[in-house]
Structure 1
């Protein structure tokens, strides 16, 4: 049977493999999918994960649970030699190996795009992975607990200040969701007032959310201002060293804001792993494809090679794309993957392929509990109804009924019980509590000089064991801390 190798298990990769399982006849082809992560992340839910509205594991889709006949390989593809139809697979443990294939699908996705701004690499956090979203949530909760014990001052203000860089959909959504989350938290922290919390969004352009109309974006700005959040337009982040954000406005003025949580959402770029392939790349680092999603080198089709999603420069036949190409978003990635799976199966069967063409359905965003915006053409909807449309659309778009039920269950549970506000920040160092009280062997006792005689009444060689016995060690341990106290090492 021909072997189909899918490189990447995100939106495009997961849906390609999922739909290949549906369209291929039994025994028609083998499908192998390789990704370093064991799951697909539903990225539109990351802002809600960060705000505590969805549990982190419910916003991801397990590869092995939902891909029944695909061979799932949890590892990295570090090189592709399509001339010889071979890919180098590098696992986290063990030796790399060469995987041969007959057809290859490049769906390696995108990563956060940053600029060489001092301090960003050391202080900021992105919003591309479920781990980042969960860490943001825990950071907010941990900082609130710390701030509640401090008097008013710079350190307290720093803990209660959030800075988001980037005014696109991802930036605005996480900014607004966190503002809503923090406002809800205030009822559990009487020591902290609304005026003590500070939210700043930095956007280099003169507007936010280019996917919606200017009028709708102005409504969002007004709504955020009414909720105590500040948006800095035509402003760039000049430095973030030590958490001290220097904001440089268009008029060259500088504003300094100290924050313990800096979230970077200012753009994405194609996964750099494509540079380790022999496929043609366009100036932005994406693989060039033709409308039916086959890889092309200028006008020459590269046989048995396909690409879609954020890693591919796919022509937008509707004429609405930036630079003539489809914008890198989930709406396109999912639909491209579905079309690619159909075209690949058609090619195996000697049938004709169909070009990818998708009219934009519009844009929908959640801005916190009960608030949202929806834009389709000139039609715009704002407020509660738009928020309902946001949840309805993404609830249905989440792949598999198993995942849908889990997400909707979170929403229903939070409606009646409220959001869970327990921080699991210590999961970053899960062994700390165990190590704090773990008994260890004592260091070896230095041997006495041979010239000295044994102690009176004690035969030579009876000075005791070189290491303390478990009973001796335990008897000398400090008494445990009381219930609820921290067991941190000194």
Structure 2
């Protein structure tokens, strides 16, 4: 029995394993998926998790629940030695182990691309994982609670200032959804005026959403600015020390919440710790049929797909496929079919995908869709976005849960409860109900002063 090892349980890895389970004959091969997280994150839902339109758990798909005939190992692959057909995997607890294989599939995905901007590493939050999306939402809701109790001033303004760095899909969708949530919160917080909100979107290039053409991109900028956002094009963040954002234009402001969405970079395990061929950017070199290598120098028994691979785009000669969910989903299924074809002595087929268009959410009831010259904006595009993704999220169970949440919100609105304290679950236990030191009354006051303002006398 052939041993197939899949490195990474994201889109491409999950769909490769899922398709192999359905197509492999009994005893034909055994499949193992190695990933540090036991679930697939459905990243197109992250902006809606930020806004509270999708429950955090519903944006994740359990690997063990849906890959029932696949061995799932919760570990991080730290090295790939294809020459000896072995990988090194490090679980969260215990020593690293060697995993042997006959055939490897590299779908490790990409990581958030960071730049050496002072302060970013200590203050910013990414938007690539469901935990980050939850943290962003809770930070905003908590900031509203804290700001409402403060008088006007620099501290209050910092709490009500949000900065997104990066104008790609993640940045624009996250920015639009969080802005929609913030403006919706105003009716629940009469202490806060609309003009106190400061939302900044910073993009280094001269336009946002490079996947759409220039005219729809300009419309998105106007739409966000009409709603109170500030879009800074051809601008870079030069510093963010202690939340003090400094732009290359010279503008400065304090921001309590900074979200970094400045694109993807190569996974360091793939780029630095493997003997498989990688390009100058650290992505695995693959052929159009998703086998690792080139036409002149193929690598036997090695496949790659998704954001970790430099897949040639046969629909746009001279380019590689865009690292997004649409390609990773299709590449994963195509890769599984090609693996089965080679196991059975057939020739694998090249991956060709013609885009179905580009669609993005910009907040509740707002969106944009483009297919060639056709551009749809507003409510209809937003409904198309929701319809597409509720069909695309894996498993009928997840589709039903997401749809139920949306229907409930249509009746009762979005939940505005913050659970930021979940990130520090022991605080209440350790404090034991004691008030913060800053709120304690000075020692030496008489009893009647200490009880002033209570409902009645203190009984002893």
TM-score w.r.t. length of structure 1: 0.87
Match of 2:263 among 257, 264, 267: 267
Residue 461 of structure 1 corresponds to which residue in structure 2? none
Residue 443 of structure 1 corresponds to which residue in structure 2? none
CA distance in 2 between counterparts of 1:298 and 1:285 reads 19
Residue 454 of structure 2 corresponds to which residue in structure 1? none
User: What does 1:393-404 correspond to in 2, within 5 Å?
Assistant: 393-404=388-399
Residue 290 of structure 2 corresponds to which residue in structure 1? 293
Please provide the CA RMSD for this pair.
Answer: 1.2
CA distance in 2 between counterparts of 1:354 and 1:82 reads 23
SS of residue paired to 1:318? coil
CA distance in 2 between counterparts of 1:161 and 1:82 reads 49
Aligned pair 1:338/2:305, yes or no?
no
Residue 407 of structure 1 corresponds to which residue in structure 2? 402
Residue 204 of structure 2 corresponds to which residue in structure 1? 204
Residue 167 of structure 2 corresponds to which residue in structure 1? 167
Bigger radius of gyration among the two = 1
Aligned pair 1:218/2:218, yes or no?
yes
CA distance in 2 between counterparts of 1:324 and 1:298 reads 17
CA distance in 1 between counterparts of 2:86 and 2:209 reads 42
CA contact (8 A) 2:287 2:295 kept: no
CA contact (8 A) 2:53 2:409 kept: yes
CA distance in 1 between counterparts of 2:98 and 2:267 reads 21
CA contact (8 A) 1:46 1:133 kept: yes
CA contact (8 A) 1:75 1:89 kept: yes
CA distance in 1 between counterparts of 2:98 and 2:38 reads 20
SS of residue paired to 1:6? strand
CA distance in 2 between counterparts of 1:235 and 1:2 reads 52
User: What does 1:21-36 correspond to in 2, within 5 Å?
Assistant: 21-36=21-36
**CA-to-aligned-CA distance 1:405-436 (integer Å, 9 cap, x gap):** 11111111111111111111111110111122
Aligned pair 1:16/2:16, yes or no?
yes
SS of residue paired to 1:372? strand
CA distance in 2 between counterparts of 1:162 and 1:113 reads 20
CA contact (8 A) 1:280 1:297 kept: no
SS of residue paired to 2:40? strand
Residue 141 of structure 1 corresponds to which residue in structure 2? 141
SS of residue paired to 2:94? coil
CA distance in 2 between counterparts of 1:56 and 1:300 reads 44
Aligned pair 1:110/2:99, yes or no?
no
Residue 307 of structure 1 corresponds to which residue in structure 2? 304
Q: Gaps (5+ residues) in structure 2?
A: 434-460
**CA-to-aligned-CA distance 1:330-385 (integer Å, 9 cap, x gap):** 11111111110000011111111000010111110011111000001111100010
TM-score w.r.t. length of structure 2: 0.93
Q: Gaps (5+ residues) in structure 1?
A: 439-490
Deviation at 1:298, TM superposition (A): 6.8
**CA-to-aligned-CA distance 1:11-53 (integer Å, 9 cap, x gap):** 1111111111111112111000000001000001100001111
CA contact (8 A) 1:204 1:236 kept: yes
Residue 387 of structure 1 corresponds to which residue in structure 2? 382
CA distance in 2 between counterparts of 1:74 and 1:435 reads 31
User: What does 1:38-117 correspond to in 2, within 5 Å?
Assistant: 38-117=38-117
Residue 280 of structure 2 corresponds to which residue in structure 1? 283
Deviation at 1:297, TM superposition (A): 5.3
**CA-to-aligned-CA distance 1:291-338 (integer Å, 9 cap, x gap):** 000001572111100000000000111116xx5211111111111111
SS of residue paired to 2:322? coil
CA distance in 2 between counterparts of 1:298 and 1:158 reads 55
**CA-to-aligned-CA distance 1:442-464 (integer Å, 9 cap, x gap):** xxxxxxxxxxxxxxxxxxxxxxx
CA distance in 2 between counterparts of 1:382 and 1:32 reads 43
Runs of 4+ aligned structure 1 residues displaced above 4 Å come to none
CA distance in 2 between counterparts of 1:170 and 1:72 reads 29
Do the aligned partners of residues 131 and 406 (structure 1) sit closer, same or farther apart at CA in structure 2, a change above 3 Å counting?
same
Match of 2:252 among 247, 256, 259: 256
SS of residue paired to 2:314? coil
